[in-house]
Structure 1
Amino acid sequence: MKSKRVNILNIPIDDIDTHELLERLKIGGVVFTPNVDHLVKLQKNSEFYQAYQEADYRVCDSQLIMFASRFLGQPLREKISGSDLFPAFYQRYGNDESVKMFLLGGLEGVAQKASNNINTKVGRNMVVDTYCPPFGFEQDPAQCQKIIEIINASGANVLAIGVGAPKQETWICQHRAKMTNIKTFLAIGATLDFEAGTLKRAPAWMSSAGLEWLYRLIKEPGRLWKRYLVEDTSFFMLILRQKFNLDHKQNFLGKKSMLESSPVGRE
């Protein structure tokens, strides 16, 4: 059964709560967690957009998107960030011996540390293996094949990948058919760092106020200043355009929107 979907900038986002999503993941699925940065990139990046069509679930990973959905008159029920969904998933299935996870991503040692922490919390070896891919791995067919072989040999049926967007989403799209045992794909960004304890999450009050981006900017200014202060600021203009029905003619670059005629744009 499909959940109700809310259209935000021509991307349908599932209006679903965490409990319902976890129940549905009993049978597997591909889960992406759109945030402001995703929605801006999706207006311009056709490969990223095509990868999004592979997702079974697209759940809101931003309080700003929650605010935008209310402004647009189609409020989403719940913010489900990857960093909330992932621990909820392993806690929900921690006692289910049939659920085995593989962690892909992070700097050297991060995924292994996250694995140790998760397995300690659930009291079993739920994470069966990890891999830290080298920089640029997604452009190296031999490296991609090596990763696929490691995943297939691990016996895992859940892949949690945290290598950043749009890399993680496009990699899933390109290679999911070769990972024959994987039923559930979770694209979770920086969550592996949170689980390993190498990065701290924003305080709850900042997240609720839509200021998690500011917390991350303060923590990683060199890496994130351009994303948050330059690239993603167009989000607010795009939302205004949607509110006043201007998107059907041009996107914010003044060009014909590549999303205008897509099936997703009409959901």
Structure 2
Amino acid sequence: MKTFVLGVAVNAITRSQALDRVRQLLADGSQHVVITPNPEIVMAARRDLRLRAIINSASLAAPDGVGLVWALRRRGVEAERVPGVEVMTDICELAAALKKCVFLLGGKRGAAERTATRLRKQWPALSVAGWSENADDIETIRRTRPDILFVALGTPKQEYWIETHLTELPSVKIALGVGGAFDILSGQLPRAPGWLRRLGLEWCWRLMLEPSRLARIFNAVVRFPLAIWRA
């Protein structure tokens, strides 16, 4: 069941429930879109009707961001943060167990290849069909026939890409937009310490490492709460 936050539909679920849902989606044979919206994405979707429609039609929209969890709880809906990078690694672990193969699309500066190497090291049974930084490389994805596609092009480009191209890739049963997950999993960008994540302050860490994100973080930590209060 989904709850609407500022017009954007979100599944109020736990990390384990999200993985159970992915397992169900993989089993039914259809194509599915998985999204992990955060407050910044919700704010973008308020203005971008196409992005909002994509999120609202997704088979799973797990809340990534303490602000989104807070907004759900204000409405009396219990939820926990389900970070997109952890959804990706959970899916990789599941794929290794189910003998499903994955493809990594996007990223930059070799992040996709390094992420693939690290994923294989962590789960030797995981089949990585391939990777490409080129968003136009449809033929390689089609030829390698992955079951799961991770798209790291940033929002909203990755969501637009999935909407446009998923039906051209019949082998893909799960397509997930993962934003900057390749940067973290490849080791290019260190993740916030666990204690900061537990306090809901991972955004402070990202701001310290990437000052250029200031405007985006302002949207998430100032404009989003104000919009919730006014809604």
Normalising by structure 1, report the TM-score: 0.79
1:91 counterpart letter in structure 2? E
SS in 2 for 1:186: strand
Alignment of 1:25-64 (within 5 A): 25-26=22-23, 27-28=25-26, 29-64=32-67
1:21 aligns with 2:18: yes
1:186 aligns with 2:183: no
Number of the residue aligned with 1:83: 85
Number of the residue aligned with 1:261: none
Cα offset for 1:40? 0.5
SS in 2 for 1:74: coil
2:202 counterpart letter in structure 1? E
What fraction of aligned residue pairs are identical, expressed as a percent? 26
- Any idea what the Cα deviations from partners look like across 1:3-56, whole Å, max 9, x if unmatched? x22221121211222223323323332110010100110110122122223411
Cα offset for 1:182? 0.3
CA distance in 2, matches of 1:201, 1:122: 20
Cα offset for 1:94? 1.5
SS in 1 for 2:18: helix
- Any idea what the Cα deviations from partners look like across 1:189-215, whole Å, max 9, x if unmatched? 111111111111111222222211111
2:18 counterpart letter in structure 1? L
Given that residues 114 and 195 in structure 1 are in contact (C-alpha distance below 8 angstroms), is that contact kept between their aligned partners in structure 2?
yes
Number of the residue aligned with 2:111: 110
1:7 counterpart letter in structure 2? F
CA distance in 1, matches of 2:165, 2:11: 24
1:173 aligns with 2:163: yes
Number of the residue aligned with 2:152: 162
Number of the residue aligned with 2:94: 92
CA distance in 1, matches of 2:43, 2:167: 28
Number of the residue aligned with 1:263: none
Q: Which has the higher helix share?
A: 2
Number of the residue aligned with 2:188: 198
Number of the residue aligned with 1:211: 201
CA distance in 2, matches of 1:73, 1:23: 23
- Any idea what the Cα deviations from partners look like across 1:75-118, whole Å, max 9, x if unmatched? 32x21111111111112231322x00000111131101100111
Number of the residue aligned with 1:7: 4
Number of the residue aligned with 1:141: none
Number of the residue aligned with 2:218: 229
Given that residues 63 and 207 in structure 1 are in contact (C-alpha distance below 8 angstroms), is that contact kept between their aligned partners in structure 2?
no
Number of the residue aligned with 1:248: none
Cα offset for 1:125? 4.9
SS in 2 for 1:22: helix
1:198 counterpart letter in structure 2? Q
- Any idea what the Cα deviations from partners look like across 1:135-185, whole Å, max 9, x if unmatched? xx5xxxxxx3xx221101012111001111111111111111111110011
In structure 1, runs of 5+ residues without a counterpart are 138-143, 243-267
1:131 aligns with 2:121: no
CA distance in 1, matches of 2:219, 2:174: 34
Q: Which piece of structure 1 moves more, 151-160 or 121-130?
A: 121-130
CA distance in 1, matches of 2:220, 2:193: 24
- Distance 1:55-1:45 versus aligned 2 partners, 3 A rule: same
CA distance in 1, matches of 2:219, 2:82: 25
1:96 counterpart letter in structure 2? L
How many residue pairs are counted as aligned between the two chains?
Answer: 225
CA RMSD of aligned residues (A): 1.7
Cα offset for 1:218? 0.7
